[in-house]
Amino acid sequence: MRIAMIGTGYVGLVSGACFSEFGVTVTCVDKDAGKIDRLNRGEIPIYEPGLDELVAKNVKAGRLSFSLDLAASVADADAVFIAVGTPSRRGDGHADLSYVYGAAEEIARGINDYTVVVTKSTVPVGTGREVARIIRKTRPDVEFGVASNPEFLREGSAIGDFLRPDRVVIGTDSDRARAVMRALYRPLYLIETPIVMTSLETAELIKYAANTFLATKITFINEIADLCEKVGADVHDVAKGIGLDGRIGKKFLHPGPGYGGSCFPKDTLALVRTAQDYGSPLRIVETVVDINDKRKKSMADRIVEACGGDVDGKTIAVLGVTFKPNTDDMRDSPSLDIIPALQAKGAVIRAFDPAGQHEAEKLLPGVTWCGDTYETLEGASVIALLTEWNEFRVLDFKRARELMKTPVLVDLRNVYNPDDMEMAGFAYTCVGRPSRYRISNRDLREKVLEA
């Protein structure tokens, strides 16, 4: 089988490479000549573990190629996937569909025989029907089907998520399109992956409902974490205690500085707007969006508090700036709220991120970027651990104490254990554990206040 993947962003590139791994012949298309050039030279524009090997292997096997020429790539494809960006539209939070509709028109001009046009980008309810209308209007002569096939992969574990998903969702009203989609996903039938066949509208809504549900679950545990701090409970035990109930489930109950990334913030907002437009407001999701925005902004206060209430002139060592580990993605990362808020209070920021630094340099002016963890700690009054990269999970605290002015750690990802931190001689603040733990060593706290 042969497909074209329009858009070589995160979803397009990973999906294209993974379909070629299934044995499908894939052409990935993009308008960005520099990107296509780099891909043709074997350079992968995003940081995603395992993607470079997967791309190299399938390019070598002749199943995966990259092209600027959309018309030629779609001409003899069985299916064409639209995987272009759907950013939040400035001003109203609706998803901006101009790239999706632009692609639909170009695809229509290029196709010959029966082709299934599939939306892989996260698109609001009704987009698939509009794509069908555009194609029909542009090419009344050609036979085609339209399907919605939302993608649930996570950054950092994208390949595993695509090749071994919990489920595949395919929405279409056409039996012929359904048969083409089934054939493309045949390898997943062999590993008994549930395939959920629905209408176009239902598939479109499933994607938003999944992302907003997960964002709600995170926001719920974040608020429970705040309450734990007040009442002297431990949020991890609460998460375990509720998560073992199969109806609730263990995953996505890890508290932190608020969710970020390329999907949750944009998709929660877009669903809120869609629901309002249809006169069926999603008040839970509206609240989640509001709580999460405020949470990200309030995280700087925790760091200020750990520094005795004042960070003016103090050096803060920030470890991790991406929205999660194993990605270089900075989109809606909590660090984008936290670092400027600390700078506004007079703090001097030294920072290090294993993969996101290049992107972060453009977004976070006035930060001193360091080559590794320990260089970052030099002369610092506090460590702010913002992203749980593995290399921050095994810090040498003796070395850290020698390098720092005062041994204080604000761990917004709960990577460390409060008791271990007391042993390591660090004043320790984390999320959702009893306040007696939060700055555990009274003498040390006094030293911090004096410094």
260 annotated as ligand-binding: yes
By the rule CB under 6 A, 153 interacts with ligand UDX: yes
282 annotated as ligand-binding: no
By the rule CB under 6 A, 22 interacts with ligand UDX: no
Q: Which residue, 203 or 448, has its beta carbon nearer to ligand UDX?
A: 203
Q: Which residue, 285 or 377, has its beta carbon nearer to ligand UDX?
A: 285
| Nearest approach, Cβ of residue 102 and ligand UDX (Å) | 23
152 annotated as ligand-binding: yes
By the rule CB under 6 A, 204 interacts with ligand UDX: no
Report the DSSP pairing between strands 25-29 and 64-67: parallel
Fill in the amino acid letter for 42.
Answer: G
Q: Which residue, 155 or 411, has its beta carbon nearer to ligand UDX?
A: 155
By the rule CB under 6 A, 331 interacts with ligand UDX: no
In sequence order, which residues have a C-beta less than 8 Å from that of residue 6 and are 6 or more positions away?
12, 29, 30, 70, 74, 80, 81, 82, 83, 84, 103, 107
The crossing angle, in degrees rounded to 10, of helices 283-306 and 200-231 is 40
By the rule CB under 6 A, 254 interacts with ligand UDX: yes
Tokens 């272009």 — which residue? 84
122 annotated as ligand-binding: yes
Q: Interior CA angle at 85 toward 81 and 90, to 5°? A: 150
Q: What is the total count of residues that contact ligand UDX (CB under 6 A)?
A: 20
- Which residues are known to be catalytic? 263
The crossing angle, in degrees rounded to 10, of helices 51-60 and 10-21 is 50
Q: Tell me the C-alpha to C-alpha distance, in Å, between residue 298 and each of 186, 207, 302, 335.
A: 47, 29, 7, 11
**Which listed range, 108-116, 146-154, 283-291, 373-381, lies at the site for ligand UDX (CB under 6 A)?**
146-154
Alpha carbon distance 215, 284 (integer Å): 11
Query: Whose CA is closest to 137, among 165, 104, 170?
Result: 104
Q: Which residue, 47 or 426, has its beta carbon nearer to ligand UDX?
A: 47
| Nearest approach, Cβ of residue 28 and ligand UDX (Å) | 19
447 annotated as ligand-binding: no
Strand partners for 9: none
By the rule CB under 6 A, 431 interacts with ligand UDX: no
| Length of the chain measured in residues | 451
Alpha carbon distance 336, 315 (integer Å): 18
By the rule CB under 6 A, 152 interacts with ligand UDX: yes
By the rule CB under 6 A, 185 interacts with ligand UDX: no
- Which tokens hold the place of 307? 């520094």
Query: Whose CA is closest to 369, among 381, 354, 385, 357?
Result: 357
By the rule CB under 6 A, 159 interacts with ligand UDX: no
Alpha carbon distance 337, 293 (integer Å): 9
| Nearest approach, Cβ of residue 75 and ligand UDX (Å) | 30
Which position among 29, 253, 338, 409 is part of the footprint of ligand UDX (CB under 6 A)? Answer: 253
**Which listed range, 22-30, 151-159, 368-376, 401-409, lies at the site for ligand UDX (CB under 6 A)?**
151-159
H/E element, 250? none
| Nearest approach, Cβ of residue 259 and ligand UDX (Å) | 3
CB-based burial of residue 185 (10 Å sphere; 0-12 exposed, 13-18 middle, 19+ buried)? middle
By the rule CB under 6 A, 47 interacts with ligand UDX: no
By the rule CB under 6 A, 101 interacts with ligand UDX: no
By the rule CB under 6 A, 392 interacts with ligand UDX: no
324 annotated as ligand-binding: yes
The phi-psi region of residue 216 (left if phi > 0; otherwise alpha if psi is between -120 and 50; otherwise beta) is: alpha
3-state secondary structure of 265: helix
Q: Tell me the C-alpha to C-alpha distance, in Å, between residue 13 and each of 3, 359, 403.
A: 13, 19, 42
**Pattern 215-244, ligand UDX, x by CB under 6 A:** ---x--------------------------
By the rule CB under 6 A, 320 interacts with ligand UDX: no
Query: Whose CA is closest to 227, among 441, 431, 429?
Result: 431
| Nearest approach, Cβ of residue 111 and ligand UDX (Å) | 28
Which position among 259, 352, 397, 437 is part of the footprint of ligand UDX (CB under 6 A)? Answer: 259
- Which tokens hold the place of 279? 């006169």
Strands (E), 265-330: 315-319
The crossing angle, in degrees rounded to 10, of helices 200-231 and 235-243 is 140
30 annotated as ligand-binding: yes
Which position among 66, 208, 264, 397 is part of the footprint of ligand UDX (CB under 6 A)? Answer: 264
By the rule CB under 6 A, 260 interacts with ligand UDX: yes
- The annotated binding site is made up of 30, 35, 86, 122, 152-155, 207, 252-256, 260, 266, 324, 331
Contact positions vs ligand UDX (CB under 6 A)? 151-155, 211, 214, 218, 252-254, 256, 259-264, 323-324
- The annotated binding site for NAD(+) is made up of 30, 35, 86, 122, 155, 266, 331
